[in-house]
């Protein structure tokens, strides 16, 4: 491995697990590009990391705006010539409110959730893949969830048996399929593709009642973003432990 600084793009990095992931990667000496749909919020987040001597830059990136992907790819190509790490972190949970039972979840909620949590991840990754192929050791991390696990959803007594949100859960299950399929296509390259279950984390999405502090919540993404050359690909992990699909 050369001594050239690695460069990572994290989507949805202006707050929550994305910002923490950027912080932890930055502390390892990696240049972190903070994707944010509101550039001002991204710049404020980057400024907070720079105080910690992290090489952080904000990039305007709404994952539902294909024009932003093209602009981001051009900028990364021009400034770095490659992308070493892509963390597909941006995500939404809009069907956790009471009244969104499986039998009444609307097509609008399903489509909105899949747009951000699945279709955007596939399209952004496809756009950036040529730059990731130029890395000596590309790493792609897809932010999944324990709620993606069909095995646990179907198992009475599992920790998520009674936590059903059709749109969110199914979007993350589909994301896990993307991980498996892309890892298979890239199996003879140096690129590793994995799904991260960060745990239940205290963020705006996870809420105050969540089990993990934000530092712990960033660790799974960071581990998968910095896997060694003999590390796994096509897996689904929480803090180094495989999760059931």
Ligand X SMILES: NC(=O)c1ccc[n+]([C@@H]2O[C@H](COP(=O)([O-])OP(=O)(O)OC[C@H]3O[C@@H](n4cnc5c(N)ncnc54)[C@H](OP(=O)(O)O)[C@@H]3O)[C@@H](O)[C@H]2O)c1
Give me the least distance between CB of 171 and ligand X, in Å please: 9
User: Who contacts 189 (Cβ-Cβ below 8 Å, separation ≥6)?
Assistant: 133, 138
Residue 136 or 177: the one with the smaller Cβ distance to ligand X is 177
Which member of 6, 60, 172, 219 is catalytic?
A: 172
Residue 91 or 138: the one with the smaller Cβ distance to ligand X is 91
Give me the least distance between CB of 148 and ligand X, in Å please: 9
Of 65, 163, 197, 171, the residue nearest 112 (C-alpha): 171
Residue 14 or 149: the one with the smaller Cβ distance to ligand X is 14
Applying CB under 6 A, the span of 9-17, 22-30, 48-56, 69-77 interacting with ligand X comes to 9-17
Of 195, 44, 4, the residue nearest 19 (C-alpha): 44
Which member of 6, 69, 168, 192 is catalytic?
A: 168
89 binds ligand X (CB under 6 A): yes
Q: 168 an active-site residue?
A: yes
116 binds ligand X (CB under 6 A): yes
Check: CB of residue 148 under 8 Å from CB of residue 164.
Answer: no
Task: Please provide the DSSP assignment of 103-136 as one string.
Answer: GG--HHHHHHHHIIIIIHHHHHHHHHHHHHHTSS
Q: How far is 167 from 94, CA to CA, in rounded Å?
A: 8
63 binds ligand X (CB under 6 A): yes
Return the percent helix, strand and coil in the chain, to nearest 5: 45, 15, 40
Q: 172 an active-site residue?
A: yes
213 binds ligand X (CB under 6 A): no
| Phi/psi at 198 (5° precision) | -75, -10
Active-site residues, by number, are 168, 172
Residue ranges binding ligand X (CB under 6 A): 11-12, 14-18, 37-38, 41, 62-64, 89-92, 116, 143, 145, 198, 200-201, 203-206, 210
């Amino acid at each position: 491995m050369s001594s050239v600084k690695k460069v990572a793009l994290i989507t949805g990095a202006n707050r929550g697990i994305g910002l923490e992931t950027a912080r932890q990667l930055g502390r390892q000496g990696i240049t972190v590009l903070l994707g944010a749909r509101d550039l001002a919020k991204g710049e404020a987040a980057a400024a907070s990391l720079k105080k910690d001597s992290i090489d952080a830059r904000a990039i305007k990136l709404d994952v539902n705006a294909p024009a932003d992907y093209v602009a981001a790819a051009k900028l990364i190509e021009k400034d770095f010539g490659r992308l070493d790490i892509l963390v597909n972190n941006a995500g939404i949970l809009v069907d956790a409110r009471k009244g969104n039972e499986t039998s009444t979840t609307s097509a609008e909620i399903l489509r909105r959730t899949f747009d951000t949590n699945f279709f955007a991840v596939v399209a952004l990754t496809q756009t950036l893949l040529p730059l990731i192929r130029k890395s000596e050791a590309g790493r792609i991390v897809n932010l999944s969830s324990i709620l993606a696990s069909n095995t646990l959803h179907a198992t009475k007594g599992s920790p998520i048996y009674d936590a059903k949100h059709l749109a969110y859960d199914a979007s993350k299950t589909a994301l896990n399929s993307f991980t498996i399929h892309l890892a298979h296509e890239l199996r003879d390259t140096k690129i590793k593709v994995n799904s991260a279950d960060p745990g239940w984390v205290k963020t705006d999405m996870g809420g105050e009642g969540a089990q993990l502090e934000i530092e712990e919540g960033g660790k799974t993404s960071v581990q998968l973003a910095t896997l060694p050359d003999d590390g796994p690909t096509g897996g689904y992990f929480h803090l180094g432990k495989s999760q059931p699909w």
